[in-house]
Amino acid sequence: MKNVAVIGAGTMGNGIAHTFAQFDYKVQLIDVSQAALDRGLATIEKNLDRMLAKERITEEEKAKTLDNITTYTSLEEGVEYASLVVEAATENLDLKLKIFRDLDKFCPEDTILASNTSSISITEIAAATSRPEMVIGMHFMNPVPIMKLVEIIKGYNTSNETYSTVEEISKKLNKVPVEVNDYPGFVANRILMPMINEAIETLYNGVAGVNEIDTVMKLGMAHPMGPLQLADFIGLDVCLSILKVMYDGFKNPKYAPCPLLVNMVMAGKLGVKSGEGFYDYTESRKAETIAKMFR
């Protein structure tokens, strides 16, 4: 199984493509536009250059990794020979269902279909295909080339054979696979997102400022990054989507997104990707005034 298609050239998609290619898989990186693919490839090259500067890889290994990646704007052409597809599109159920219906049509009948979804039901995604036993969750952590964890989520009908294959592939990528049951948010985000949401509530209620909240969690809880800074790196829109999935799935008010988070996303303050979130990435200034803007 050396031929892998990755759908989506964004933060997660290009990281997944980078990782497979670095371990000598032939990768077909697919997105809707060549511009998105070019940005993804530029990010991969930049990350490889960082690894090269730290002497973690050689020039030859960098060149080989890039040579292992081919880009496509056509889903049908990109998945034609794939043994494994990893979908890393936007965290939107309707979009994912459409992608998996198309994958079911275009992929060989023995292709495993994996989703990098961070919260959406694998069982529901699998139901859009005629091969639910070959659909699985493969949730990588960001940044993918560095983080060891892969949550592997079995849907209701996922076969043991499919699970074993994906588990073995994860190990070949030098990752640590962890089996997780198919419930909203799985494990990582079921624990992480309520913490981030509570940090936003703490800011919203005026208990402390952005820097103060993050400093407490870094120095008091030994977190490498504060929850508000982490939310910026994840993307506030992604955080909101995951919280909505969990709130809809469990109907428990503890998962209800903070109004400040909702308003920031509506205002386009999405974190690093937009240049501003809880921190100002355009001028390296703290954006603590955001809390007051939307009260």
* Residue the block writes with tokens 């983080």: 147
Task: Give which of 268, 267, 256 is closest to 197, Cα–Cα.
Answer: 256
Q: Which CATH architecture has domain 189-293?
A: Orthogonal Bundle (1.10)
Is 181 catalytic? The answer is no
- Dist. CA 35–CA 122, nearest whole Å: 30
271 DSSP β-pair partners: 276
Is 205 catalytic? The answer is no
Using one digit for the tens of pLDDT, what is the confidence trace for 80-96?
999 999 999 999 999 99
Using one digit for the tens of pLDDT, what is the confidence trace for 189-241?
999 999 999 999 999 999 999 999 999 999 999 999 999 999 999 999 999 99
Using one digit for the tens of pLDDT, what is the confidence trace for 6-23?
999 999 999 999 999 999
- Dist. CA 12–CA 151, nearest whole Å: 14
Other CB atoms closer than 10 Å to residue 215's CB: what's the count? 13
Is 160 catalytic? The answer is no
- Out of 189, 197, 241, 274, pick the active-site residue: 189
Give the start-to-end residue ranges of the domains of the chain. Answer: 3-181, 189-293
Burial (Cβ within 10 Å: 0-12, 13-18, ≥19) of residue 10:
middle
Which CATH superfamily is 3-181 part of?
Answer: NAD(P)-binding Rossmann-like Domain (3.40.50.720)
pLDDT band for position 286 (50/70/90)?
Answer: very low
User: Model-level pTM?
Assistant: 0.89
pLDDT at residue 294, as a whole number: 44
Task: Give which of 162, 39, 178, 44 is closest to 112, Cα–Cα.
Answer: 162
- Dist. CA 149–CA 180, nearest whole Å: 12
For the annotated binding site for NAD(+), the residues are: 8-13, 31, 91, 96, 118, 142, 273
Question: Which amino acid type is present at position 176?
Answer: V
Question: Which amino acid type is present at position 15?
Answer: G
